[in-house]
Chains A and B, each alone.
Chain A
Amino acid sequence: MAQVYEAPLRDMRFVLHELFEGEDFGDLPHFGEFTPDLTDAILDEAARLTRDVLLPLNASGDAEGCTIENGVVRTPAGFRDAYAQFRDGGWAALSSPPEWGGQGLPETVNKLVEEMICAANLSFSLYPGLTHGATTAILGHASEDLKRAYLPKMVSGEWGGTMCLTEAHCGTDLGLLRTRAEPRGDGSFAVTGSKIFISSGDHDLTENIIHLVLARLPDAPRGVKGISLFLVPKLLPNDDGTCGPRNGVAVAGIEHKMGLKASATCQLAFEESIGWLVGEPNKGLAAMFTMMNAERVSVGIQGLGVGEIAYQSAVAYARERLQSRALSGTARPDLPADPIIVHPDVRRMLMTMRAYTEGSRALGQWVSRALDAEAHGADPETRQRASDFVAMMTPVVKALFTDLASETANLGVQIYGGHGFIREHGVEQFVRDARITQLYEGTNGVQALDLVGRKLGAHMGRYLRPFFHAVSAQLADAAKTSARDLAAWRSSLEQSFGMLQLSTGTIAQKALKDAEEAGAAATDYLRLVGLVGMGHCFLKAARIARHRLGEGTDEADFYTAKLATAGFFFDRILPQATAAFLSIKSGKRSLMALPADAF
């Protein structure tokens, strides 16, 4: 057994077409041409491409890693061809706007394709992923001249992109940044400084790489208010768009990492590299953050992808690994022992993995719908509501999905037993790869602080409203249900939702007097929001499944399984909400009791 992945197309179609049908943010005429038959055709082909082209390079890419020789970075064998196939097929341009050569897919579909790419090969996903992020920032903030010169080739995937934020002494706190940009007198700037942890910083997949670099102007104020954003190409383009001379960007080294080994993470040295200002002087952080927020949702989706492949690989092994007999008596007398999937403890792990991935996929799809409505909603009120929801859910998607992914990947190894710990089976790679998703684009601790610090109390709790309203509305709507299981699940959700409302009030109050109280509650609060969000989605899914089964469907297997997973979620996962609630309630007292020098 090894790494097993087949895109979960049925569940993807469920979250895309059925789960939120006719709800939330209304119809989006902008995407009228993306009818279900077209989106399904896109998902089908993406499933083939990811399974047949990207998946076979996942383990080999991990084993070989990226290499650097004479300052030139090489990706593992097969990556160049795979990237060429990916780019030529138009997949790099998936969600970019058509006016710049993109395909303009809705985020609802785009995020499902992203999930497939990340599941099949997380390292690979970073190359088109960073390019897309850089493209977004250029689209939002750069001058028309810069857009015309760089966007077409970046959108098509011919050129790559990066985000250069981190320096050795500054990660989360970008105010400490030292890279400098001096005006050259012709409108351009000379950028000098060192950056680390630059994903896709250098590689052999594209002819040119366009770096977006945070740096300080000579007269810049100190701290985060003095940071500007610059576009610095690896090779300076000639007037006709071809690549010209090198631009003083050197690769000082590649990082030696725990996982994600086929993604080239570089240390870059800029030496009087020519760059152009993107957006306003000293407003670089805001420009970078439009891209950061979009990327945070994508990092959540990365976690979901890794979780899904870990789950599928574990199911395959649990079905085939023969050890001992079932506790209830021999299940397979024709075999020397029963497959380990008969054991309740193995089921506990598989169901946990399944509930986490299905719950994340559903919640992710809800947020994707809001992303589309934020940009293309029918009226300003809808767009604002969608935007508020995205603002609140971005840190939740990022931190919750990636925390669950790590847990899922670890459970996968557990199911393989000792065989999971050795490399041949390929499942320990998921643990190593998933680990970074909890760290980059802002650690999960930072996400939790973002939620309680910037989102919870802002505008009198306005960001929370669309979420709270949706959950209340469903609880009211489902109160009529006569089905006993649905009624029980509804009441579990109602309880957890009550705990969430209480906690929200408590934190808002305590934080007014003591900011450390908010910090002490942050991680548990984020988990509580996430659990209620997934519970909301599972109740919705279960009600749809029950309805379809009642009507009569030829897909009884799918809907029955959906009910089973929902049942497990409410019985075995949602109780975590109570633990989070009690932790929050206890406040910061015991958490901060030990003086720093007593550690």
Chain B
Amino acid sequence: MKVLVPVKRVLDYNVKPRVKADGTGVDLANVKMSMNPFDEIAVEEAIRLKEKGVATEIVVVSIGEQKAQETLRTALAMGADRAILIVSEDKVEPLGVAKLLAKVAEAEQPGLVILGKQAIDDDNNQTGQMLGALLGWGQGTFASKVEVAGDSVDVTREVDGGLETVKLKTPAIVTTDLRLNEPRYASLPNIMKAKSKPLEQKTPADYGVDVTPRLTTVKVEEPAKRQAGVKVADVDELVGKLKTLGVVA
């Protein structure tokens, strides 16, 4: 079974984002970029499936600027087999991404598409679900456990009330949650090998997909600074304050 893993290049999770002075977005000039942590979990899961003998080939795909190559190389160094980069220097919204991925999936015919439940830059949490709708495949989102058995896959999902397990017929889509696994560090020999693994370059036009943004960003600004709190002397004063604020009756 082939596994397709889409990965996104995002601001490193350790970096404190800064909003651009003109309010058009987050400043990405010269800040550390890395693979979206949820996507890293997706790559790890695919590698584990391959190590178990379930998956036969892992194809990673990224949509974004030329530098997303580095992100794909990271995935190859972790253990993916080959990579596809769909170059778009402009921002591609989740729907555009899902349409491109649908085309890639049609061409590659994977048994599973495993992707992060969301990217930590815009936190949309949409791509996996949209991809499911476009392909008409079953989806198991927010996965904390994935078990493939024959031509179906059991996905344990983290839902508000606890855990829910769904059985999906393959091909299917899985989006990963934090607790699914702990991604490995790429080993030095694998980093060196990654250099010679195939990386194919495409453009959205190659797939006949129009990725023109449908949303307009009006303004990006930092969240309001938290104001200092007030110290109260005792419980009575606290209750009094809460009443004045109308929080309690």
Contact = CB atoms under 8 A, between A and B. Distances in A.
A53 B185 CA distance: 10
Contacts of B190: 90
B191 A557 contact: no
Contact of B30 (A35, A38, A557): A557
A182 to B, nearest CB: 42
B187 A89 contact: yes
Given A49-B185, A89-B185, A42 B73 contact: no
Nearest to A34: B192
Interface string A12-36: 0000000000000000000001010
Contacts of B195: 33, 35, 37-38, 41
Contacts of A44: 74
Interface residues of B, number: 19
B14 interface: yes
A581 interface: no
Given A6-B14, A103-B192, A554-B29, A41 B185 contact: no
A97 to B, nearest CB: 14
Nearest to B195: A38
A463 interface: no
Contacts of B30: 10, 554-555, 557-558
A577 interface: no
B194 interface: yes
B185 A48 contact: yes
A394 B30 CA distance: 35
Contacts of A88: 187
B189 interface: yes
A49 B14 CA distance: 14
B194 A41 contact: yes
B77 interface: yes
B147 to A, nearest CB: 26
A318 interface: no
B188 interface: yes
A42 B192 CA distance: 8
B70 interface: yes
A93 B192 CA distance: 13
Given A37-B70, A37-B73, A42 B188 contact: yes
Contact of A89 (B29, B188, B194): B188
Interface size class of A (residues with CB under 8 A): 20 to 34
B189 A85 contact: no
Contact of A45 (B32, B185, B225): B185
A91 B188 contact: yes
B29 A103 contact: no
Interface string B13-40: 0100000000000000110100000000
Given A41-B70, A558-B30, A90 B14 contact: no
A42 B29 contact: no
A90 B70 contact: no
A120 B191 CA distance: 22
B25 to A, nearest CB: 15
A94 interface: yes
Given A37-B70, A554-B29, A555-B30, A42 B191 contact: yes
Interface string B167-186: 00000000000000000011
| Interface of chain A, main secondary structure | helix
Contacts of B186: 45, 89
B189 A90 contact: yes
Nearest to A87: B187
Contacts of A9: 32
A99 to B, nearest CB: 15
A35 B74 CA distance: 16
Nearest to B196: A33
Interface in A87-109: 88-91, 93-94, 103
Interface string B211-244: 0000000000000010000000000000000000
Contacts of A40: 70
A327 to B, nearest CB: 26
B119 to A, nearest CB: 19
A557 B31 CA distance: 11
Interface string A77-92: 0000000010011110
B191 A45 contact: yes
Interface string B56-75: 00000000000000100110
A94 B70 contact: no
B74 A41 contact: yes
Contacts of A558: 30
Interface in A506-558: 554-555, 557-558
Contacts of B192: 33, 38, 103
B31 to A, nearest CB: 10
B14 A103 contact: no
Contacts of A85: 185
A33 B74 CA distance: 18
A39 B140 CA distance: 38
A41 B77 contact: yes
Contacts of B32: 9
Interface string A394-426: 000000000000000000000000000000000
Interface string A281-298: 000000000000000000
A557 B18 CA distance: 15
B205 to A, nearest CB: 26
B171 to A, nearest CB: 32
Which of B14, B186, B188, B191 neighbours the largest number of chain A CB atoms within 10 Å of its CB?
B188
B185 A38 contact: no
B66 to A, nearest CB: 12
B70 A103 contact: no
A9 B185 CA distance: 18
A52 B14 CA distance: 11
Contacts of A555: 29-30
A89 B191 CA distance: 10
A45 B184 CA distance: 11
B35 to A, nearest CB: 11
A482 B195 CA distance: 43
Contacts of A90: 187-190
Contacts of A91: 188
A223 B232 CA distance: 79
Interface in A51-80: 52-53
Interface in B48-107: 70, 73-74, 77
A422 to B, nearest CB: 27
A93 B70 CA distance: 24
Interface string B102-119: 000000000000000000
A334 B227 CA distance: 10
Contacts of A35: 195
A93 B188 contact: yes
A6 B12 CA distance: 12
A103 B188 contact: yes
Contacts of B70: 37, 40-41
Given A41-B74, A90-B189, 20 more contacts: A35-B195, A41-B70, A41-B73, A41-B191, A41-B195, A42-B188, A45-B185, A45-B186, A45-B191, A48-B185, A49-B185, A89-B187, A89-B188, A90-B190, A93-B188, A94-B188, A103-B189, A334-B225, A554-B30, A558-B30
22 contacts: A9-B32, A10-B30, A33-B192, A35-B195, A37-B73, A41-B70, A41-B73, A41-B194, A42-B191, A45-B185, A45-B188, A45-B191, A48-B185, A49-B185, A53-B185, A89-B185, A89-B186, A89-B188, A93-B188, A103-B189, A554-B30, A555-B30
Interface of B: 14, 29-30, 32, 70, 73-74, 77, 185-192, 194-195, 225
Question: What are the nearest 3 A-B pairs in CB distance?
Answer: A90-B188, A89-B187, A90-B187
